[in-house]
Amino acid sequence: MSLRRTRSIRAAAVVAAGATALAGALVGTAQADPRYSTKTPTSKGFGGAVTSVDPEASRIGIEVLKRGGNAVDAAVATAAALGVTEPYSAGIGGGGYFVFYDADTEKVRTIDGRETAPKAIDQDAFIDPESPTGEPYNFFPERVTSGVSIGVPGTLATWEKALDEWGSYSLRKALKPATKLARRGFVVDETFQQQTIENQERFEAYTTTPELFLPGGEAPEPGSIFRNRDLARTYQQIAKQGTDYFYEGRLAREIVAVVQDPPKSPTTDLPVPPGEMTLEDLDDYKALLQKPTKSDYRGYEIFGMAPSSSGGTTVGESLNIVEQSIGKDAAEITALHHYLEASALAFADRAAYLGDPAFVDVPVEDLLSDKFARERACEIDPDEAATKPVDSQDVDDYDGKCDPGDPGADADVDTEGLSTTNLTVTDKWGNVVEYTLTIEQTGGSGLLVPDRGFLLNNELTDFSAEFDRDDPNRIEGGKRPRSSMSPTIVLDDGEPFLALGTPGGSTIITTVSQILFNRIDLGMTIEEALAAPRASQRNTETVTAEPAFISEHGAALGALGHEFTESAEIGAATAIEFGKDGLLTAVAEPVRRGGGAALVVSKSRPDKNGHKDDDHDDRKNDHKDDDDHDDD
């Protein structure tokens, strides 16, 4: 069935997609308690899959697929659910990047839903007026905890555009499961409690935020039920009135009011400066439909996000440099050395050239060319790590030979937040969605819109704090700050092979690159590639790495001159690999960020009539939640 045909059967279709053993457990749980908190790092099966960091969100996506929705419908419903269960990482107060493979056209398209700066933003917006030397506010907690850090949100516009372009659900229908989830609540886990504790000072800088997230002045206890009735009502209003309610109507006025005059607590020591967002800024916002980046690696086609994200170019360039510098059969330490050095070179070029293409001429074709990669690869010494930071390469002066031309700009300091969330979805027709969405820092700006149940982002801190006319990521009104989000779809002979993405600030780029490197070069399974210990070289003096990576590879790589800084964990990825005869391997983190939930529609292969062995149980229970999935 084509994507177009799914549109013609909107609410009438209910897929007889048999329940897996896991899905059967979901039904049993729902009969006793509708909440679901089982973490499932890997599921294999057929008929569609959803993987995210959260069990409730993944289950909602699976239910959409079972009821006839396509991958886009399920992705939006899952994202809306993550706005409930992952409110410190995502939600309608933020933005993101949506990558879609259309099985009908066999094309990859993307949506840039990145936040924009208010038109009236000052180039010195992050400079502390009380600093005698004109220094910026400290990044954390001062700079992020403010009205001035808040960009015009793009998430709702992204959902609307994705559904209009490729979905079979209305936005109203896609929001219903998350609305119910917000009303009935979810089970608090240790990660949610810890994130709340870590943000307590910032949340208490406002009078609004503690009411929801710090009831009685304390973070919610693991095992307790967290309800967000305000968000449920907000979703209901958006479902009834459409996105105009958010970008033009009453909610727009409420957002502008708190950005321009943050409800600052009288007891906080944080400055909480006001922002410049206006109703015109919200009304003018557009999610942008655009072509992906495309690069080739070891015979695979790698599709990612074009600028304003730096993800597609930097993932593609770093892998291109690896491919030009060593063969696929290189020894593991040799391969890792080249991977880390290639990443540093790509990050140098990222700093020099990447910004919003509406304001900056970004040389995407040069950065992804094999000739450019060959010249960059010449700079890798097989026996010794280069002193970092390394210089960028002049995109107007290269010929692919081992005589590098003039260097470009120096590296900059990266302050991109480490939060964000990611989801991966595919349906029975072969459509694929990879979607990374965020409110930036864990907890965003810390500012809860009063009585609305969602936090506003702090995405504008992704701009360079100090204005420099030559900096492609300088602050400008209406501009989208540079991002590292890297939702990626990989094709093999034109067919989906792998879809993956992750949160993690600028480590997003290295995590996606390393998972691909692990899977393709080191021959790991996708489960192994995602779970393997990680290292991130972003053109810094030391490599940021997880303890297990340092324990396993630190000595050998140290002998080549690599130095390490330890990080407890890097990223929280999701992925789906597409195997033979329709077999799907859906993967989430087994440990990082508390683990994730990867679910499939069915573990049974369809017979020649399209039925599965467990169809009967699925049909028996399908009627229970019809009201939560049908249009009004």
- Rounded to whole angstroms, how far apart are CA atoms 129 and 144? 16
SS (H, E, C) 95-106: EEEEEEEECCCC
pLDDT for 31 beyond 80:
no
pLDDT for 586 beyond 50:
yes
Contacts of 273 (CB under 8 A, 6+ apart): 146, 147, 148
pLDDT for 331 beyond 70:
yes
Question: What is the reported pLDDT for 402?
Answer: 86
- Rounded to whole angstroms, how far apart are CA atoms 311 and 315? 6
Give residue 285's identity as a one-letter amino acid code. Y
Residue 408 or 584, more confident: 584
Across the beta sheet with 543-545, the strand order is 535-536, 543-545, 564-566
Question: What is the reported pLDDT for 20?
Answer: 32
- The set of catalytic residues is 420
User: For 493-550, how does the pLDDT look when each residue is reduced to its tens digit (9 = 90+)?
Assistant: 999 999 999 999 999 999 999 999 999 999 999 999 999 999 999 999 999 999 999 9
SS (H, E, C) 446-495: CCECCCCCCECCCHHHHCCCCCCCCCCCCCCCCCCCCECCCCEEEEECCE
- Inter-residue contact 2 to 104 (CB < 8 Å): yes
DSSP alpha helix (H) spans, 326-369: 332-353, 364-367
Confidence of residue 401 (pLDDT cuts 50, 70, 90): confident
User: For 405-422, how does the pLDDT look when each residue is reduced to its tens digit (9 = 90+)?
Assistant: 556 555 454 544 456 999
Q: Which residue do the tokens 């330890």 mark?
A: 566
Cα angle 613-617-619, degrees, rounded to a multiple of 5 = 105
Which pair of tokens denotes residue 558?
């140290």
Provide, rounded to the nearest whole percent, the portion of the chain with pLDDT above 90: 86
* Cis peptide bond prior to 389, omega within 30° of 0: yes
pLDDT for 231 beyond 80:
yes
Confidence of residue 605 (pLDDT cuts 50, 70, 90): confident
Cα angle 566-355-535, degrees, rounded to a multiple of 5 = 15
Question: What is the reported pLDDT for 405?
Answer: 53
Q: Would residue 152 be called left, alpha or beta, if left means φ above 0 and alpha means ψ between -120 and 50 degrees?
A: beta
pLDDT for 283 beyond 90:
yes
Alpha-carbon separation of residue 479 from 51, 119, 243, 359 (angstroms): 32, 8, 22, 7
Question: What is the reported pLDDT for 382?
Answer: 97
pLDDT for 306 beyond 70:
yes
Alpha-carbon separation of residue 153 from 174, 207, 495 (angstroms): 19, 22, 33
Provide, rounded to the nearest whole percent, the portion of the chain with pLDDT above 70: 88
User: For 194-224, how does the pLDDT look when each residue is reduced to its tens digit (9 = 90+)?
Assistant: 999 999 999 999 999 999 999 999 999 999 9
User: For 556-581, how does the pLDDT look when each residue is reduced to its tens digit (9 = 90+)?
Assistant: 999 999 999 999 999 999 999 999 99
Whole-prediction pTM: 0.91
Residue 30 or 314, more confident: 314
Question: What is the reported pLDDT for 243?
Answer: 98
The domain 65-562: what is its CATH number? 3.60.20.40
Question: What is the reported pLDDT for 34?
Answer: 79
Cα angle 317-321-324, degrees, rounded to a multiple of 5 = 135
Which pair of tokens denotes residue 608?
């020649």
What mean pLDDT is reported for the chain?
A: 90
pLDDT for 193 beyond 80:
yes
Residue 130: CB atoms within 10 A of its CB come to 8
Q: Would residue 272 be called left, alpha or beta, if left means φ above 0 and alpha means ψ between -120 and 50 degrees?
A: left
pLDDT for 349 beyond 70:
yes
Question: What is the reported pLDDT for 612?
Answer: 54
Question: What is the reported pLDDT for 404?
Answer: 60
Which pair of tokens denotes residue 121?
């933003």
* String of DSSP letters for 220-285: PPTTSEE--HHHHHHHHHHHHH-THHHHTSHHHHHHHHHHHS--B-TT--S--------HHHHHH-
User: For 450-471, how does the pLDDT look when each residue is reduced to its tens digit (9 = 90+)?
Assistant: 999 999 999 999 999 999 999 9
Tell me what the mean pLDDT of segment 376-387 comes to. Answer: 97
Confidence of residue 64 (pLDDT cuts 50, 70, 90): very high
Q: Which helix (H) or strand (E) holds 112?
A: strand 107-113
> Residue 464 half-sphere exposure, CB side, CA atoms within 13 Å?
18
User: For 126-180, how does the pLDDT look when each residue is reduced to its tens digit (9 = 90+)?
Assistant: 999 999 999 999 999 999 999 999 999 999 999 999 999 999 999 999 999 999 9
Tell me what the mean pLDDT of segment 289-315 comes to. Answer: 98
Tell me what the mean pLDDT of segment 46-75 comes to. Answer: 98
- Inter-residue contact 455 to 93 (CB < 8 Å): yes
Confidence of residue 14 (pLDDT cuts 50, 70, 90): very low
Residue 8: CB atoms within 10 A of its CB come to 11
Nearest one of 181, 183, 159, 155 to 172, comparing CA atoms: 159
